Amino acid sequence: MTDVKDWNKAGGEKTEAMLLTPDRERGIAVYEVCSACHLLEGWGLKDGTFPQLAGQHRNVLIKQLTDIRAKNRDNPTMYPFALDEQILAVAGYHEGEIKPAQLVADVTTYISKLPMNPDNGKGIWAEGTPEFEQGKKLYADNCTQCHGDNGEGSNEKFYPRIQGQHYAYMLRQFEWIRDGKRRNANPDMVKQIKGFSDMDMKMVINYVSRQKVPAKDLAPSTDYQNPDYD
């Protein structure tokens, strides 16, 4: 099993970005690079190829982006788009004119405020089925302490919001964390889920995928288009 890196050590670009005042217009400009995969709305894809980013906690987004930039999280598809020259260029800056950490602060704040997809990708077992109920129990016994009763997560503690996330994406990440393939995973989670079978994993992620997102955080319909890119 791959060693899990220090999960959340303070300092570096992550802490720097957290302390900077974000600029919305720069965030819009930088996010255009991200939208090639995550879509202009930040909704990703139901097939799990790309996660929904819209509505995710700002600190979680900062940590994951800075981990990818520092190569502490393996993401070869995203890494080229997260390099300094890419995010500087799209924001209209040259090296030395602005700190990349500022652009990280700008884009993550922008993403965190995007309305979420009202129809995220879900697992196959509906509420009331034995598999749904077992997933609910597994979640209550193993996940609520960090991710909250309804998958709301915590910005302060860097726990991702998983309500509204696509089933297929969560399933892949859960498997990688369980099997030690995601190097920046929380070591407490690695220990907590190491005994999960593949079926356990599918049932608990199915349950999470069906947790309701508060209406105030959702786009009005699946036809919604991000007005910042008209």
Q: Which two tokens stand for residue 50?
A: 């790309």
Binding site, annotated residues:
34, 37-38, 78, 143, 146-147
Task: Give residue 115's identity as a one-letter amino acid code.
Answer: P
131: how many CB neighbours lie within 10 A of its CB? 17
Nearest Cα neighbor of 28 from 41, 11, 9 is 41
Instruction: Specify the residue for token string 């924001």.
Output: 91
Triad 148, 151, 155: Cα angle to 5°? 70
CB 183 within 8 A of CB 86: no
Q: Is 142 helix (H, G, I), strand (E, B) or coil?
A: helix
d(CA 132, CA 205): 9
Q: How many CA atoms lie within 13 A of 226 on its CB side?
A: 20
CB 30 within 8 A of CB 91: yes
Instruction: Specify the residue for token string 């930088």.
Output: 30
Binding site, annotated residues for heme c:
34, 37-38, 78, 143, 146-147
Helices (H), ranges, the chain? 12-19, 24-38, 58-69, 84-90, 100-112, 130-142, 144-147, 167-178, 187-193, 198-209
